[in-house]
Amino acid sequence: MTLLMGGVAYDPKVVTIWAGFRDWLRAHDLDYDFVLYSNYERQAEDLVAGRLDAAWNSPLAWLRCERLAAAAGRRVDPLVMRDTDRDLTSVLLVRADSGCATVADLKGRTVALGAVDSPQATLIPATFLRREGLVPGEDVTIRRFDVGVGLHGDHIGGERDAVRALLAGEVDAAAVVDANHLLFGQEGTLPPGSTRVLAQTPPYDHCNMTVVDTAPEEPVRRFGELLLSMSYADPAMRPLLDLEGLSRWEDGRTGGYGALAVAVDETGFYDAEGRVTAPEYVP
């Protein structure tokens, strides 16, 4: 029986990655195939409906699958995640010459966020601002950069546009995930000394390989076992692992999604049964 996995085509490299993984998995006696989606919402619905056995999910898609499954009397579990999906943070950047010394100093100013459905550049940073006493849309003006809506922030376009707006003086602060902060410095988008970190969120987790309880037990077990066995030392696998942004797969866990779950509830992004309820979100 073929184990069928869903993935979202957020970048052309996704085809290269999962076609390469498919060849490797089949060579290790797993009957495996994948299908690609244009957005995470349809993928989540198909997983819970049993049309998929597994889905390579964003953290937001994981939360939706969890809610959809509970409402349907089903169960989903995180099988594995990348080593790079654990303990991420988002940072609030200001220009180096900014007069802001604390988050409270942003009151009355403008903060740039990513796309409406970005966990790391919009949902979690907005909740962080609330925890710091600033209500988005009331105490601070929000300028969103809605690039790749439906892809749940699995791109860097909105975050790159946000920091460019910061450098141009169009906004007073910008939120990005820590890995992109590093990347923007390396690529020259953020010149050395041009910005500084005003604040950093607590750690959270990102993507996971979600499996549904309708999936065949033995192929799922083998799938997880094989992913965990992939080695960065294998010259055939290293280019694919680099493209997917990991050095090793690790066991999935659920403890790092609390901040995002709070953000989803505060914004009404999904309701308790997993329905899309954010008025500005059209994937």
Distances (CA, A) of 94 to 91, 102, 145, 195, 231: 10, 10, 17, 6, 39
Q: Are residues 213 and 252 in the same domain?
A: yes
> Does 50 reside within a domain?
yes
Domain count of the fold of the chain = 2
Q: Evaluate the CA torsion angle 182, 188, 190, 194 in order and state its sign.
A: positive
Q: Are residues 94 and 184 in the same domain?
A: yes
Q: What is the pLDDT of residues 103-162, one digit of tens each?
A: 999 999 999 999 999 999 999 999 999 999 999 999 999 999 999 999 999 888 899 999
Q: Are residues 134 and 220 in the same domain?
A: no
Question: Helix, strand, or coil here: 106?
Answer: helix
Q: Are residues 159 and 124 in the same domain?
A: yes
How far apart, in whole angstroms, are the C-alpha atoms of residue 66 and residue 130?
Answer: 25
List the domain range (segments joined by +) for residue 45: 3-85+206-267
Question: Helix, strand, or coil here: 212?
Answer: strand
> Does 277 reside within a domain?
no
> Does 275 reside within a domain?
no
Closest CA relative to residue 226, chosen from 31, 35, 73: 31
Q: Which residues of 63-76 are buried (b: 16+ CB within 10 A; e: fewer)?
A: bbbbbbbeeeebeb
pLDDT number for residue 157 = 85
pLDDT number for residue 137 = 96
Q: What's the whole-model pTM score?
A: 0.96
pLDDT number for residue 1 = 86
CATH classification at residue 162 = 3.40.190.10
Banded pLDDT at 188 (limits 50, 70, 90): very high
